Structure formats: structure tokens, C-alpha cells
Copies of this chain bind each other. A is one copy, B any other.
Amino acid sequence: MAKTEALDVTAETAAGRLAALRAELAQCGVDGFLVPRGDEHQGEYVPPSAERLAWLTGFKGSAGMACVLSGAAAIFVDGRYTLQVRQEVEERLFTPRHVTEEPLSEWLKENLRPGQRLAYDPWLHTEDQVRRLEKTLDGLGASLVALEENPLDAVWRDRPAPPKAEIQLHDLALAGRSSADKREELGGELDKAGVAAAVLTLPDSIAWLLNVRGGDVTHSPLPLSFALLYADGGVEWFVDPDKLTPQVVQQLGNAVSIEAPERLGDSLSRLGKAGHKVLADPATAARWIFERLRAAGAEVLPGADPCLLPKACKNAAELEGMRRAHRRDGAAVSRFLHWLSVEAEARAAGDSDGGPVSEMEAAKRLEAFRAETGELRDLSFDTIAGSGPNGAIVHYRVSEESDRALGQGELFLCDSGGQYPDGTTDITRTLAIGAPSEEMRRRFTLVLKGHIALARARFPKGTSGSQLDSLARYALWQEGLDYDHGTGHGVGSYLNVHEGPQRISKLPNSVALKPGMIVSNEPGYYKTGAYGIRIENLVAVTESPRGEGEEREMLAFETLTLAPIDRRLVLRDLLSAEEAAWLDSYHARVRAEIAPQLEGAARSWLEAATAPLAE
């Protein structure tokens, strides 16, 4: 604080906000406070009313945490954000730290004295997170203190109101299963396990269970709320009544009682006083919930949110919806790819009016093609449109400052998706603008070999995504290359574009892939400062019929995504006969499904783009 004289500490500046928070912390009698990016629901997106980290520090990334002490403050971000944090945050106020290489525990060791009290808001940290923090603080001889009222909220004067987006019913025809049916089954499982109720804090679990959708956050059609699922299949839904229409309330019926969000604590206390066993997920539910249950005398059973697995295993109607959404989305993406092949090539070569196509222009065009379907509710995430070196930044988001032309002889990586009522899409295509180099083609083909190995894979029931990950990397590995991200994430059905519990990753994960699960298949390769390659389709896990002489019950992947893969980037000689046959057969499917939706030049372009590889 010695250097703050020169700072403008009015409420409108970051310095002023930090000073106000510090004053409030002193009032509360604590020595520091943690400000995470997440909210009470631990989702990927948070509403403006919960953007505490951005308000305090200016940092707008999707993950991070600040720690404010009286004489020092730091912000901890992962490898995606080490550059961005320096652009957005005043370093004289918050020291930027890499969350794993320079972790909070190390920083606290240097800055927190034994006996001091570090505070946190128990609504904003999960039970697991708090347990880890407690260990850290124990090791330092300091204490971790939960505050009933968030001191940042007390000084956040212009804090936006919580979102109140109207909640819609998710059609039974799309959900494939009534809420009553889902509640009865999951309730029955709780009953069998002697559990009175399960606490649900994940908005996508509640949306799935009640067959509702909302709009409280961007990109995911979620209403923010809490719920208690009882062993008899009844639900107490703690949701702002302003978001509800009579139609929704009526459809939910008597077994779902609507309660104000602030009543959740009372219900937890009631369960506790009755000595009931209550299930809560320590990986996702707030510490506050565990504390309240324990204080009231409940037997808390730590366990996975019971909606996670059934939500991940899409039923026939949801799969049919995903296929329909992908046919629609594939046509929009194909129109975009055609536009790009004409505009970007011509303008990069100077053969057309206007400068070259820019990343932002491309992203807007793609969104417009999706919007033209008339079914788009939202993008499923901010489009990643990276040309040349920007393509090598795995989590690149285009901005006015970073916007870059699609130059001749470069690669353009475009990762995008749409939220449609019948399904969520997520597709990455990497395109050559002008003539690609041999190295680009070779590495693209290695990535493609990995993609195909996974797409063609059959595997026994019980196999986890971790077991399959290396299939997508083997070809790259053989040439001393790799990529530093997972190979596949789960995808919701008009829900979150990233959902668990399954994933395809180097990280150990023992969740078996089950029929109906959707995962992405997205190996990549990134040459820093030069270009990025990623080929991403969504696939559904399916039963694979047993052929003659076959002995095991096998599963396989059905590829859902339908859009051409840039054949100009494929070195045919690097593909085996089976791999080339897979690509030709995939392209034949794309042609059959998408061409009838296109007209004129776009259709002709698609037909050429999906022709078999030349021998």
C-alpha cells in the first residue's frame, strides 16, 4: 500500500474498488479474502451479477481467482490467460501468477502470516475446494474463515441485478422422456440407497431433470436455480418466481413445488433436523450447503450429482434431435465454407474488392449463416477464428485488437457451434487459404489419421475415454509431435457444450463410455507463431452389432457432424486404405445429407469438396 498515493482511488477505478474491499475486510475483522471467478453454480458461464472477479480486477477470462490481503493482492490464472491477464489487470494492484506454476499456496506462504485469517464466501467455493484450502492454510498456521455476507458485494455499488430470463418448457418430443419419469427413476435410486434427498446445484442438471430451459447466462440455455430431489420423486425447486410462467408451473405439476431461492437453507435444515441422509456432490456443490446440512444434523453422503450420468446418456429422441441439429448446422457451416473458399481466396489474392477477409468478418458470417436457419438460439460458445499464428493459440478469442487477415498461404482454424432447441453443435475445421506448405499438409494429415482412428474405433463395453486417447495421438507421436489439450469432451443436448462425466483425455478418468453419450473427437496440432490445426466432429457412442465370429459386446462412434474436411490439406499417401475409405465414406455422407439443402454454386462447391480422394 506504500505506493498508492499516486492512484486514483475513487469508486470508478480498480484501485478504488480494491481500497473499498480492503476497508470492508478490515470491518469484518479478517486479513484477506478470496475472489473466485465461479458463482454458486460452478458453471462455465456466469451472469453479470456474479462477475465479481472482473469487477474487482478487470480480468474477463473464464477461470481465475484473486486473493486480496491488506498489503498485497494477486490474481491466479491458467496457461490460457497469462498474456490476457497482463492486458486486463493493473499489475501494480494485482500480481499475476500462473495458477499451477506459482500457486496460491506459495504466494500465501510469502504474504500471509501465521495466525492471520483468510476469508472466503462459502457459496462460491465447492466443498472439495474448501477442503484443499483448509489444508493449505493449516500448513501455514493461518485460518480459513467463511463469511456469511460477501464483503465484495457490500462495496459493489453498481452491481447488476441477477438475471431473470423467462424459463421455457423443453418439449417432451425433444427431451424424449417426461420429467416425472426421470424424477421417479432417480428418486427410486435414492430410496434404495436410504437417501432422503439429493441437493442439485448444477443448472444443467436441474434443466435436464425438469425439462426446462432458460437464458440466465450466455451460450448455455440455463435457468440459474437450486433444487432438492426427494426419494419419492418430488422436487423442491428454489427458483426466482419472476422467471416462471403459469404454463411452466402447470406443466411441472404438484410433485414440483416452487420455492424462493432463499428458502433452500430452511429445507436443508429440516432434512438435517430429521436426521436424514442427504446426497450432495463435493466436486460441484457449494461449501455452504455442506455446512448447513452438517450443522442441522444431517448425515451428508458425498457423491456425484445423480443427474450427471443419465443426462450424459442421450435417449433416442435426444439423439434424433442431435442428428437433425447437425444436418441443419452442417448446411450452415458448408455455406460458410463455400463463402470462405470464394471470398477468402479471391480477396487474399487481391482478385476482389475490399481487403482480405478478417477473422471477425469470418466469425460474423458464420454466425449469420447459422442464424439464417431460423432455429439458432445462441452460439454454443464464442467462435474461435484463428488465422495463421492466431490458430496456434488454443483458446484464442478474436477481438478488435487481435483481429487478423486470412492471408495467402496460411491456415485458418475455425471452432464454432450453435445452440438449437433439438441439439448443441461444436465443430472445428481447418482451411487452407491459397496453397498450403508440404509441412502443413503432412501435419494436417497426421491429425486426420488420429481423428479417423478414433472415429473408426470399436471398443468393448466398460472402456473409458482415457483408454482411447492415445489412438488419436499415435500418428503425431510417431513424428515427434503432440497437442496439449484433451481429445474429447462430453456435449449436452441443448445444454452445456462441455459436460461430464465422460471425456477422452490423457488424464485418468474411469467413467465408461456408454451408448448415447456424445463426445467431441478433436485432435490438433499447434505450431507456435505459425499455424494451428484441429479437426473436430461430435460423435455419439453406439452399440456396435456383433458380426459373424465376433465374441465381445462392442461399442463404436457414430459421427454426427456433417461438413467437408479440407481435402487440399490431405496427403493421400500418408493414409492407409482404410483411412482413405473412411474419409471418402464420410464425405459421401456429407454430400448425401447436406447437398440437398444447398443451391447453385454452394451445392456445386460441396459436391466437389466431398468428392473421393484422388488415388
What is A's interface to B at a CB cutoff of 8 Å? 439, 453, 456-460, 463, 466-471, 474, 477-482, 506, 508, 510, 544, 546-547, 549-552, 554, 576
Contact = CB atoms under 8 A, between A and B. Distances in A.
Contact of A471 (B466, B471, B506, B550): B471
A544 to B, nearest CB: 8
A471 B457 CA distance: 11
Given A508-B508, A510-B508, A576-B576, A458 B478 contact: yes
B480 A546 contact: yes
List 3 tightest A-B contacts by C-beta distance, closest first.
A480-B550, A508-B508, A467-B470
B471 A458 contact: no
B471 A456 contact: no
Given A468-B470, A576-B576, A456 B478 contact: yes
Contacts of A459: 470, 477
Contact of A458 (B453, B480, B510): B480
14 contacts: A456-B478, A457-B477, A457-B478, A458-B478, A458-B480, A460-B477, A466-B467, A467-B470, A467-B506, A468-B470, A480-B550, A480-B554, A508-B510, A576-B576
A336 B480 CA distance: 40
Contacts of A456: 478
Q: How many copies does the complex hold?
A: 2
A528 to B, nearest CB: 9
B470 A458 contact: no
Nearest to A460: B482
Nearest to A550: B480
Q: Which of A456, A544, A546, A554 has the most CB of B within 10 A?
A: A554
Given A460-B477, A466-B467, A470-B470, 12 more contacts: A458-B478, A459-B477, A466-B466, A467-B469, A467-B506, A468-B470, A471-B474, A479-B549, A479-B550, A480-B554, A482-B551, A482-B552
A480 B552 contact: yes
B469 A552 contact: no
Contacts of A544: 480
Nearest to A467: B470
A547 B477 CA distance: 12
A10 B508 CA distance: 55
A459 B459 CA distance: 22
Q: Which of A466, A477, A478, A550 has the most CB of B within 10 A?
A: A477
Q: Which of A453, A458, A470 has the most CB of B within 10 A?
A: A470
Given A470-B470, A474-B471, A508-B466, A480 B439 contact: no
A39 to B, nearest CB: 32
A236 B460 CA distance: 50
A226 to B, nearest CB: 33
A551 B481 contact: yes
B474 A453 contact: yes
A477 B506 contact: no
A470 B487 CA distance: 15
Q: Which of A457, A467, A550 has the most CB of B within 10 A?
A: A467
A80 B157 CA distance: 70
Contacts of A576: 576
A453 B449 CA distance: 14
Contacts of A468: 470
A515 to B, nearest CB: 16
A472 to B, nearest CB: 11
Contact of A439 (B463, B482, B549): B549
Contacts of A474: 453, 457, 471
A576 B576 CA distance: 7
A552 B544 CA distance: 36
Contacts of A457: 474, 477-478
Contacts of A480: 458, 544, 546-547, 549-552, 554
Contacts of A470: 459, 463, 467-468, 470-471
A265 to B, nearest CB: 33
B554 A477 contact: yes
A544 B481 CA distance: 12
Contacts of A550: 479-481
A232 B558 CA distance: 60
A531 to B, nearest CB: 14
A571 to B, nearest CB: 15
Contacts of A481: 550-552
Contacts of A552: 480-482
Nearest to A458: B477
A582 to B, nearest CB: 12
A441 B429 CA distance: 41
A369 to B, nearest CB: 36
A457 B506 CA distance: 16
A179 to B, nearest CB: 36
A358 to B, nearest CB: 29
